[in-house]
Amino acid sequence: MMNEGMTIELPNFEGPLDLLLHLIRSQELDIYDIPIARITQQYLDYLQQMQRLNLQLAGEYFVMAATLLRIKSQYLLPKNDFVETEEEFADPREELVEQLVQYSVFKKISAYFKVRNDEVPVLAAKEPSVAVGAKVQPLPLGQISQQDLTASFILAMRRFKKRNDHAQVTLTGRPIQEMIAWIKEVLEQQGRVSFFALTDQVESLADLVGLFLAILELAKDQYLKVRQKRRFGDLEIERSKHDE
């Protein structure tokens, strides 16, 4: 029997992260503060229901189940009041949250490219052979791929983690509309800015994600163009001329 009156649906999921994201979003939960006991039980109930229906489940679903149970068990362990180390204070959900955040962003990148595929390109790439300092010209959409854009986001996450060793993934981020307003203000003042220059000013993982999604939203609205001089490198964000 499902807990808390939850109704099981059986959409096609791409993997365990997709299922977890569905459970979180369908209940409007905070991805940065997952109620681990509740989600673990719902996830296990879902797998049990799938097995009852004789549906094939990939091994990765059971690996995730083991991960959730391990995290849940860590919350049940007694805390040592006399030993206070950084490791003890680390949130056992942190790695899972980062995986979910990355997966969520990847899905949005994929959706963005799907929508923009037949529309006027607002993303441009720079061939690696062009000299540094040369003028960046727009190139057809597709020369900056989903992989390139995804790699830039992953690199930004790594830079953020390196710069903020003790950053908490549970910090609440600023609303995306606030991020959009901030990006517009920067572009109105400077005309263009690098993605990493913006990410260096955010203070939480939630804000980093919000910033990236705000850039995608503004690109979709053709307010700005995103260019890349070097594959898997920084992104150059420039205000569209027709919007000046």
**Strands, E, within the chain: which ranges?**
123-125, 192-194, 224-228, 236-239
Pairing of strands 123-125, 192-194: unpaired
231 vs 159, residue with greater confidence:
159
Percent of the chain beyond pLDDT 90? 29
Distance between CA atoms of residues 235 and 152, nearest Å? 7
Distance between CA atoms of residues 171 and 206, nearest Å? 7
| pLDDT of the residue at 117 | 59
137 vs 27, residue with greater confidence:
27
Name the pLDDT band for 133 (thresholds 50, 70, 90).
very low
CB 228 within 8 A of CB 124: yes
Distance between CA atoms of residues 109 and 94, nearest Å? 23
Residues 105-129 pLDDT 10s: 888 888 777 766 555 444 443 433 3
pTM score, two decimals?
A: 0.67
Torsion angle, CA of 215/220/223/225, rounded to 10 degrees?
70
Percent of the chain beyond pLDDT 70? 73
Distance between CA atoms of residues 136 and 125, nearest Å? 8
Q: Which residue matches tokens 């986001």?
A: 153
Q: Residue 69 burial by CB count (10 A; 0-12/13-18/19+): exposed, middle or buried?
A: middle
> What are the tokens at 119?
């529309």
Residues 51-93 pLDDT 10s: 888 777 788 999 999 999 999 998 887 665 544 554 555 788 8
| pLDDT of the residue at 90 | 74
Residues 148-205 pLDDT 10s: 788 888 888 888 888 876 554 444 567 889 999 999 999 999 999 999 999 999 888 8
> What are the tokens at 165?
């060793």
CB 122 within 8 A of CB 225: yes
